[in-house]
Amino acid sequence: MKFLLIHGGWQGGWSWAAVVDELQSRGHRAWAPTMPGLEPGEVDRSTSGLHAYIDCVASLLAAENLDDVVVVAHSGGGPIAQGLYERQASRIRQIVFVDAWALKDGERILDILAPEMAAGFVAAAEASPDHTVPMPPEFWIHGLCNDLPEADAMSWMDRVVPCPIGWFTERLSLPTFAASGVATGYIFLDQDVTVDRSIYQEMAARLGTPATTTCPGAHQAMLSQPRALAEAILRVSAD
Protein backbone atom coordinates (compact mmCIF):
# COMPACT_ATOMS: atom_id res chain seq x y z
CA MET A 1 0.00 0.00 0.00
CA LYS A 2 0.93 3.64 -0.39
CA PHE A 3 0.72 5.96 2.59
CA LEU A 4 0.82 9.75 2.81
CA LEU A 5 1.54 10.75 6.42
CA ILE A 6 0.48 14.26 7.46
CA HIS A 7 1.99 15.73 10.62
CA GLY A 8 0.37 18.00 13.18
CA GLY A 9 1.30 21.46 14.39
CA TRP A 10 4.73 22.58 15.59
CA GLN A 11 6.50 19.67 13.86
CA GLY A 12 7.39 18.35 10.43
CA GLY A 13 7.70 15.19 8.41
CA TRP A 14 10.56 14.20 10.73
CA SER A 15 8.01 13.17 13.36
CA TRP A 16 6.86 10.31 11.11
CA ALA A 17 10.35 9.02 10.25
CA ALA A 18 10.27 5.91 12.45
CA VAL A 19 6.72 5.05 11.33
CA VAL A 20 7.82 5.42 7.70
CA ASP A 21 10.63 2.97 8.40
CA GLU A 22 8.20 0.52 10.00
CA LEU A 23 5.79 0.68 7.07
CA GLN A 24 8.54 0.32 4.50
CA SER A 25 10.00 -2.66 6.36
CA ARG A 26 6.64 -4.35 5.78
CA GLY A 27 6.80 -3.74 2.04
CA HIS A 28 4.74 -0.56 1.82
CA ARG A 29 5.62 2.86 0.43
CA ALA A 30 5.28 6.02 2.50
CA TRP A 31 5.75 9.78 2.15
CA ALA A 32 5.88 12.27 5.03
CA PRO A 33 6.25 15.85 3.74
CA THR A 34 6.83 18.90 5.92
CA MET A 35 4.22 21.59 5.54
CA PRO A 36 5.44 25.00 4.28
CA GLY A 37 6.28 27.28 7.19
CA LEU A 38 7.01 24.35 9.49
CA GLU A 39 10.56 23.83 8.26
CA PRO A 40 13.35 24.27 10.83
CA GLY A 41 15.53 27.35 10.98
CA GLU A 42 14.89 30.89 9.80
CA VAL A 43 11.74 30.47 7.73
CA ASP A 44 8.98 32.94 6.89
CA ARG A 45 6.01 31.50 8.76
CA SER A 46 3.86 34.64 8.67
CA THR A 47 1.69 33.70 5.66
CA SER A 48 1.57 29.95 6.18
CA GLY A 49 -1.78 28.32 6.87
CA LEU A 50 -4.20 25.50 6.29
CA HIS A 51 -4.79 26.18 2.59
CA ALA A 52 -1.05 26.30 1.87
CA TYR A 53 -0.69 22.89 3.51
CA ILE A 54 -3.47 21.45 1.36
CA ASP A 55 -1.70 22.88 -1.69
CA CYS A 56 1.51 21.19 -0.53
CA VAL A 57 0.10 17.67 -0.23
CA ALA A 58 -2.02 18.01 -3.38
CA SER A 59 1.09 18.99 -5.32
CA LEU A 60 2.98 16.00 -3.93
CA LEU A 61 0.29 13.54 -5.07
CA ALA A 62 0.24 15.10 -8.51
CA ALA A 63 4.04 15.30 -8.86
CA GLU A 64 4.49 11.68 -7.81
CA ASN A 65 1.41 10.61 -9.80
CA LEU A 66 0.14 8.72 -6.79
CA ASP A 67 -3.24 7.08 -6.59
CA ASP A 68 -4.96 4.52 -4.33
CA VAL A 69 -3.30 6.33 -1.42
CA VAL A 70 -4.09 5.88 2.27
CA VAL A 71 -3.80 9.33 3.85
CA VAL A 72 -2.86 9.21 7.55
CA ALA A 73 -3.40 12.45 9.44
CA HIS A 74 -2.28 13.25 12.97
CA SER A 75 -3.87 15.91 15.18
CA GLY A 76 -4.21 19.18 13.21
CA GLY A 77 -3.39 17.25 10.05
CA GLY A 78 -6.96 15.95 9.94
CA PRO A 79 -8.39 19.00 8.14
CA ILE A 80 -5.49 18.92 5.68
CA ALA A 81 -6.51 15.37 4.73
CA GLN A 82 -10.12 16.48 4.37
CA GLY A 83 -9.14 19.39 2.15
CA LEU A 84 -6.93 17.12 0.08
CA TYR A 85 -9.88 14.82 -0.52
CA GLU A 86 -11.92 17.77 -1.81
CA ARG A 87 -9.13 18.45 -4.32
CA GLN A 88 -8.04 14.97 -5.36
CA ALA A 89 -10.66 12.45 -4.29
CA SER A 90 -9.87 10.09 -7.16
CA ARG A 91 -6.35 9.53 -5.83
CA ILE A 92 -7.39 8.67 -2.26
CA ARG A 93 -8.29 5.19 -1.08
CA GLN A 94 -8.88 5.95 2.59
CA ILE A 95 -8.23 8.59 5.26
CA VAL A 96 -6.99 7.49 8.68
CA PHE A 97 -7.20 10.00 11.54
CA VAL A 98 -4.81 9.63 14.49
CA ASP A 99 -6.35 11.56 17.42
CA ALA A 100 -7.02 14.17 14.74
CA TRP A 101 -9.54 16.94 14.20
CA ALA A 102 -12.32 16.44 11.66
CA LEU A 103 -13.98 19.66 10.55
CA LYS A 104 -17.46 20.35 9.28
CA ASP A 105 -17.97 22.44 6.14
CA GLY A 106 -17.02 26.05 6.86
CA GLU A 107 -15.40 25.32 10.21
CA ARG A 108 -11.91 26.15 11.42
CA ILE A 109 -9.82 24.35 14.02
CA LEU A 110 -10.20 27.34 16.35
CA ASP A 111 -13.95 26.64 16.49
CA ILE A 112 -13.55 23.19 18.03
CA LEU A 113 -10.77 23.92 20.52
CA ALA A 114 -11.58 24.58 24.15
CA PRO A 115 -12.25 28.33 24.48
CA GLU A 116 -9.31 28.91 26.81
CA MET A 117 -6.93 27.09 24.48
CA ALA A 118 -8.23 28.95 21.43
CA ALA A 119 -7.86 32.29 23.21
CA GLY A 120 -4.34 31.38 24.29
CA PHE A 121 -3.30 30.56 20.73
CA VAL A 122 -4.70 33.83 19.39
CA ALA A 123 -3.07 35.87 22.15
CA ALA A 124 0.29 34.18 21.54
CA ALA A 125 0.09 34.85 17.81
CA GLU A 126 -0.85 38.49 18.35
CA ALA A 127 2.21 38.90 20.57
CA SER A 128 4.46 37.29 17.96
CA PRO A 129 6.06 39.30 15.13
CA ASP A 130 5.28 36.55 12.59
CA HIS A 131 1.84 35.51 13.88
CA THR A 132 2.97 32.16 15.25
CA VAL A 133 2.23 30.19 18.38
CA PRO A 134 5.31 28.92 20.25
CA MET A 135 5.35 25.50 21.86
CA PRO A 136 5.75 25.74 25.66
CA PRO A 137 8.34 23.12 26.68
CA GLU A 138 6.23 22.03 29.63
CA PHE A 139 3.26 21.29 27.33
CA TRP A 140 5.47 19.33 24.96
CA ILE A 141 6.93 17.28 27.83
CA HIS A 142 3.89 16.75 30.04
CA GLY A 143 1.05 17.18 27.53
CA LEU A 144 2.14 15.77 24.19
CA CYS A 145 4.99 13.44 25.21
CA ASN A 146 3.78 12.40 28.65
CA ASP A 147 4.65 8.74 28.02
CA LEU A 148 8.35 9.54 27.48
CA PRO A 149 11.02 10.25 30.09
CA GLU A 150 11.52 14.01 30.32
CA ALA A 151 15.02 13.83 28.86
CA ASP A 152 13.76 11.86 25.84
CA ALA A 153 10.91 14.30 25.27
CA MET A 154 13.31 17.25 25.48
CA SER A 155 15.63 15.63 22.93
CA TRP A 156 13.01 16.38 20.24
CA MET A 157 12.49 20.02 21.23
CA ASP A 158 15.19 21.40 18.93
CA ARG A 159 13.05 20.24 15.96
CA VAL A 160 9.84 21.81 17.24
CA VAL A 161 9.03 25.15 15.60
CA PRO A 162 6.45 27.90 16.23
CA CYS A 163 3.15 27.05 14.59
CA PRO A 164 1.56 29.55 12.17
CA ILE A 165 -1.78 30.77 13.50
CA GLY A 166 -3.28 30.30 10.04
CA TRP A 167 -3.43 26.57 10.74
CA PHE A 168 -6.10 27.32 13.35
CA THR A 169 -7.89 30.36 11.94
CA GLU A 170 -8.46 29.51 8.27
CA ARG A 171 -11.93 28.17 7.51
CA LEU A 172 -12.17 25.07 5.37
CA SER A 173 -14.72 24.58 2.63
CA LEU A 174 -15.79 20.93 2.57
CA PRO A 175 -18.85 20.83 0.32
CA THR A 176 -18.60 17.13 -0.54
CA PHE A 177 -16.59 15.42 2.19
CA ALA A 178 -19.36 14.52 4.65
CA ALA A 179 -21.55 12.84 2.02
CA SER A 180 -18.70 11.39 -0.04
CA GLY A 181 -18.63 7.92 1.49
CA VAL A 182 -14.83 7.89 1.46
CA ALA A 183 -13.43 5.07 3.60
CA THR A 184 -12.08 6.34 6.91
CA GLY A 185 -10.34 5.04 10.00
CA TYR A 186 -9.71 6.48 13.45
CA ILE A 187 -6.89 5.57 15.84
CA PHE A 188 -7.30 6.49 19.50
CA LEU A 189 -4.04 6.95 21.41
CA ASP A 190 -4.37 5.36 24.86
CA GLN A 191 -2.24 7.83 26.83
CA ASP A 192 -3.21 11.03 25.05
CA VAL A 193 -4.05 13.68 27.68
CA THR A 194 -4.26 16.74 25.42
CA VAL A 195 -8.07 16.66 25.47
CA ASP A 196 -10.65 14.30 26.92
CA ARG A 197 -11.13 11.09 24.92
CA SER A 198 -14.76 12.07 24.35
CA ILE A 199 -13.59 14.92 22.09
CA TYR A 200 -11.75 12.49 19.81
CA GLN A 201 -14.76 10.18 19.90
CA GLU A 202 -16.85 13.10 18.67
CA MET A 203 -14.37 13.65 15.85
CA ALA A 204 -14.62 9.98 14.87
CA ALA A 205 -18.43 10.17 14.94
CA ARG A 206 -18.28 13.00 12.41
CA LEU A 207 -16.78 10.49 9.98
CA GLY A 208 -19.78 8.18 10.12
CA THR A 209 -18.62 4.62 10.75
CA PRO A 210 -14.82 4.64 10.50
CA ALA A 211 -12.75 1.56 11.17
CA THR A 212 -11.39 2.15 14.67
CA THR A 213 -8.61 0.83 16.85
CA THR A 214 -6.49 1.91 19.79
CA CYS A 215 -2.75 2.30 20.07
CA PRO A 216 -0.47 2.65 23.08
CA GLY A 217 1.24 5.98 23.51
CA ALA A 218 0.58 9.65 24.12
CA HIS A 219 -0.28 12.31 21.54
CA GLN A 220 3.17 11.98 19.97
CA ALA A 221 2.97 8.19 19.75
CA MET A 222 4.88 8.31 16.45
CA LEU A 223 7.93 9.22 18.56
CA SER A 224 7.38 6.87 21.50
CA GLN A 225 5.55 3.94 19.87
CA PRO A 226 6.32 3.96 16.13
CA ARG A 227 6.00 0.20 15.66
CA ALA A 228 2.69 0.03 17.49
CA LEU A 229 1.38 3.01 15.55
CA ALA A 230 2.43 1.52 12.22
CA GLU A 231 0.63 -1.68 13.18
CA ALA A 232 -2.49 0.29 14.15
CA ILE A 233 -2.43 2.10 10.81
CA LEU A 234 -2.24 -1.22 8.99
CA ARG A 235 -5.10 -2.65 11.06
CA VAL A 236 -7.55 0.06 10.05
CA SER A 237 -6.38 0.23 6.44
CA ALA A 238 -6.37 -3.50 5.71
CA ASP A 239 -8.14 -4.74 2.59
Whole-angstrom distance, CA of residue 222 vs CA of residue 13: 11
Whole-angstrom distance, CA of residue 147 vs CA of residue 135: 18
0.95 surpassed by pTM = yes
Radius of gyration of the chain (CA): 16
Q: What's residue 239's pLDDT?
A: 61
**pLDDT tens per residue across all 239 residues of the chain:** 999 999 999 999 999 999 999 999 999 999 999 999 999 999 999 989 999 999 999 999 999 999 999 999 999 999 999 999 999 999 999 999 999 999 999 999 999 999 999 999 999 999 999 999 999 999 999 999 999 999 999 999 999 999 999 999 999 999 999 999 999 999 999 999 999 999 999 999 999 999 999 999 999 999 999 999 999 999 999 76
| CATH node for 2-236 | 3.40.50.1820
Task: Tell me, letter by letter, the H, E, C secondary structure of the chain.
Answer: CEEEEECCCCCCHHHHHHHHHHHHHCCCEEECCCCCCCCCCCCCCCCCEHHHHHHHHHHHHHHHCCCCEEEEEEHHHHHHHHHHHHHHHHHEEEEEEECCCCCCCCCCHHHHCCHHHHHHHHHHHHCCCCCEECCCHHHHHHHHCCCCCHHHHHCCHHHCCCEECHHHHCCCCCCCCCCCCCEEEEEEECCCCCCCHHHHHHHHHCCCCCEEEEECCCCCHHHHCHHHHHHHHHHHCCC
List, in order, residues 6 or more apart from 229 with CB less than 8 Å away.
19, 22, 98, 187, 215, 217, 221, 222
Beta bridge partners of 166: 49
Beta bridge partners of 71: 4, 95
Q: What's residue 238's pLDDT?
A: 73
CA 32 to chain centre: 11
Q: What's residue 102's pLDDT?
A: 98
